[in-house]
Structure 1
């Protein structure tokens, strides 16, 4: 991973060289399936229709087992204006996408978008209603590692990560795990396309969904219509560099929160200037490292900060928590939760997509380096992950981004994103070359298209999906 680069939202992006998809063994063709639409599972909107697809577990051995992929459909609001289908993915990896069409509709989506497409949601393989994988992980709802205070903390976390990897390796779903990958999900998407009777598909994906969309656009460039990628991971998978980039993202984004807190000093009393807010954050975090208040220690406090940076709307809640802790008061306890399917699928995808370093010393060195470069969250983002102990190496290399193909990709990116920093978007933009355009919004947070009120960015995204409008060059949308 390159060291810290202070991003400029006006960076010019040059075309990149042509690369092609790399796979260990070519996938064999699969005969297109047919769909039978009916009611969706309980808890999924009754406005949607759902169907199942039975697809190969391993595309290199189509007769060697299957997975069931559950898909949903929000039919075009006006079939006379229907352009085609828009597949959508909300990110993760590990998030269910079955209800995503209704989430988009209720955001609310402009009627022109709802008329232009049948919006197709789906649970990726291993997730939700699509042959879910559950390792049996208890009391775990996140794979983000704890903030390492010392190199010994990395050793301790290595033991935790090793135990998680062992639990998955010894679980009943272990034979499925090597095939729960981004590349295979992209192949599933192409089977969804074929089953829908479409020669090409459009796609909208957020966060990890940008990596999935980049994989599809690289593996099947001739079958793409309009590809909108939002909050960019930077490649076709979420590898170690993507997780480690959280450190950069938090440094980019935290000043937005600090300005909010300083402007509301009379309410929060956690700092009268942005600089004072930042200094007070470190002071309180160190205090909580030694003396937790209730179930909030320094690790939890930093994680709460990271989560709050996703949306401006979360700033007041985190500021009030900070105020409570700074006053020495014990905050209301949180109820421990387990998200076994989410975490198990996320591990399968992340560890199955790419190989991670296996020696603890590498993570110790990275933690100490990022403690200097990205002190707010770097020692968490660089800490060791269960992929370092994963029992089965990836069965194929990730898809490589290709600059060969139609000019039909739009990248939407906030300038200050805590989880997918602008540097990642610039990286993917260079790889796609002339195929893509980058629209950068001068704002913070995770998610651009109708996640914020930036009319410029939203208009670019909508104009592209509905009318195919792609600007001649990259654009910067000013803050609103």
Structure 2
């Protein structure tokens, strides 16, 4: 079920800088206020019928709390904000092992309902047996004090073409500078304190308020940066920690984007080899080189003459091919069918089956607005603030333009590159350093992933310590969702021992018949 964003929240977005000296411990633990959970959390309106009984049983034990923390921990007596969180008590209280905080990534993702989702998943339900699971809404998100900033008119009015000229990109850049400065002028007091260091201190305040001497942690995507920062600030307060799809130990925006884009192109090359192995199905060629030439020819054909189908609102252009080749391997069978149908299609006809399924816009979802007290799955403003506060890369126009131009040259996926200088005009807060410590930690990295590239896992291990688990797939955050890897995950939190150094995850050789939506 999808009560919050899935654990693979595409979103590892910004990860940077980090830590100085931990603040002195408070004389008294912060006071948690427990209250009835919001109706939008306890009702089952959005729960699939087959999951209702299990959900009711779990949510009947869910505890919802808040506490007040300083907006700025350097000024503990100044303005305070609210942190909202949940606690799902261990099912087997007699064998309880402590508290396990969880985070799905972002930044900007809500962890509020993540304990329920993990407890309902057959791959991770074992975590709930012996751990109280803690779902935190980071500051800026959901039931915590939310980040808000209306899109400035200067930014909303900016021209945003897919492939801008240099002059158009400069106009976009200047609009971003003006928009960021306008947002900071109105909300800067709060937004400048949306940092992973402060969020880590918020988590430690929750830990203290719960009366836990130490806390365990499971983080995915940006949650790995969150975990690394918390561990660096409070190494003696970490029991066991697992971080999946690991972030880099420092964040420079242009380098970050380049690493991801280069890995995406490498994934497209792996797909061409897979297509060659299945030429009897897709007929793009029997070698990777032949397939790549055929896909480039298809991109050029759709650039010169986008397909016009009678039942689609817009022509289909080469962007669909680039997006198809950028998919992780479990999606290759579907993406290959889309490209095959486009190659064999003609104007003036209904869209082929899989093209229509992917692009048809057949929205059968529930358009009913969520209740006013509903959890907030994701907060875009918090995401933006956390990224821009901790990106220590260059933010000048020339760097942004040169990076964009380089990425446009990638053969199969280059057209996915977007000119971006989202943090222009928003200076980072302050650089700090992660710390190495010998405490219990597993860092799982996915060998061919493009969202959190594998070398970052090794770099993070060198920075903070721990043991690396290599996942033989290319799927972001797949460890909690795949049985062989999640067995290691649950076993580690139960025993403190990682019983293997590799797991398959989603794997990378899908059967062409395994077409996933």
- TM-score tier (shorter): 0.7 to 0.9
The yes-or-no answer on 1:315 pairing with 2:332 is: yes
| Structure 1 residue 215: Cα displacement | 0.6
Unaligned runs of 5+ in 2: 1-16, 43-55, 308-313, 368-375, 508-517
| Structure 1 residue 272: Cα displacement | 5.8
The structure 2 residue matched to 1:463, chosen from 458, 477, 491, is 491
Name the residue aligned to 2:402: 365
The yes-or-no answer on 1:401 pairing with 2:398 is: no
What are the equivalent positions in structure 2 for 1:124-203 lying under 5 Å apart?
124-137=138-151, 151=166, 154-155=169-170, 157-159=172-174, 161-162=176-177, 164-166=179-181, 168-169=183-184, 172-203=186-217
Distance 1:423 1:200, change over 3 A: same
1:247-280 C-alpha deviation (Å, 9 max, x unpaired): 1331343345445555565665666654444444
Distance 1:459 1:109, change over 3 A: closer
2-structure distance, mates of 1:86, 1:146: 45
| Structure with max Cα Rg | 2
Distance 1:72 1:324, change over 3 A: farther
Do the aligned residues in 1 keep the contact of 2:123 with 2:481 (CA within 8 Å)? no
Q: How many residues are matched?
A: 440
Do the aligned residues in 1 keep the contact of 2:324 with 2:336 (CA within 8 Å)? no
1:438 aligns to what SS in structure 2?
Answer: strand
What are the equivalent positions in structure 2 for 1:346-357 lying under 5 Å apart?
346-357=383-394
Name the residue aligned to 1:35: 32
The structure 2 residue matched to 1:441, chosen from 467, 471, 483, is 471
Do the aligned residues in 1 keep the contact of 2:325 with 2:412 (CA within 8 Å)? no
Moved more, 239-248 or 458-467: 239-248
| Structure 1 residue 220: Cα displacement | 0.9
Do the aligned residues in 2 keep the contact of 1:204 with 1:228 (CA within 8 Å)? yes
Distance 1:367 1:239, change over 3 A: closer
Name the residue aligned to 2:449: 417
Distance 1:61 1:367, change over 3 A: same
Do the aligned residues in 2 keep the contact of 1:214 with 1:236 (CA within 8 Å)? no
The structure 2 residue matched to 1:389, chosen from 416, 421, 425, is 425
**Aligned-residue RMSD, C-alpha:** 3.6
Do the aligned residues in 2 keep the contact of 1:57 with 1:67 (CA within 8 Å)? yes
What are the equivalent positions in structure 2 for 1:56-455 lying under 5 Å apart?
56-137=70-151, 151=166, 154-155=169-170, 157-159=172-174, 161-162=176-177, 164-166=179-181, 168-169=183-184, 172-235=186-249, 239-259=253-273, 261-262=275-276, 274-286=288-300, 294=314, 302=322, 306=326, 308-309=327-328, 312=330, 314-323=331-340, 325-326=342-343, 327=345, 329=351, 331-333=359-361, 342-372=379-409, 374-377=410-413, 383-390=419-426, 393-397=427-431, 399-403=432-436, 405-432=437-464, 435-453=465-483, 455=484
1:123-180 C-alpha deviation (Å, 9 max, x unpaired): 111112211112223999xxxx98757655643542453465255335x533311011
Name the residue aligned to 1:11: none
1-structure distance, mates of 2:300, 2:182: 33
| Structure 1 residue 231: Cα displacement | 0.3
- Structure 2 length normalisation: TM-score? 0.74
Distance 1:305 1:94, change over 3 A: farther
1:229 aligns to what SS in structure 2?
Answer: strand
- Structure 1 length normalisation: TM-score? 0.79
The yes-or-no answer on 1:54 pairing with 2:68 is: yes
Distance 1:188 1:129, change over 3 A: same
Name the residue aligned to 1:7: none
2:189 aligns to what SS in structure 1?
Answer: coil
2:208 aligns to what SS in structure 1?
Answer: helix
Distance 1:156 1:78, change over 3 A: same
Distance 1:475 1:175, change over 3 A: same
1:342-386 C-alpha deviation (Å, 9 max, x unpaired): 3211110000123342321112222334445x5444675684221
Do the aligned residues in 2 keep the contact of 1:127 with 1:345 (CA within 8 Å)? yes
The yes-or-no answer on 1:475 pairing with 2:501 is: yes
| Structure 1 residue 244: Cα displacement | 3.3
Distance 1:135 1:321, change over 3 A: farther
Do the aligned residues in 1 keep the contact of 2:100 with 2:216 (CA within 8 Å)? yes
Do the aligned residues in 2 keep the contact of 1:148 with 1:380 (CA within 8 Å)? no
1:47-104 C-alpha deviation (Å, 9 max, x unpaired): 1321112111111112221221110122111001110011000011111111111221
1:385-408 C-alpha deviation (Å, 9 max, x unpaired): 211232xx23322x42211x2331
1-structure distance, mates of 2:179, 2:336: 33
Do the aligned residues in 1 keep the contact of 2:110 with 2:137 (CA within 8 Å)? yes
1:203-262 C-alpha deviation (Å, 9 max, x unpaired): 010011111111111111111111101001112668543343211331343345445555
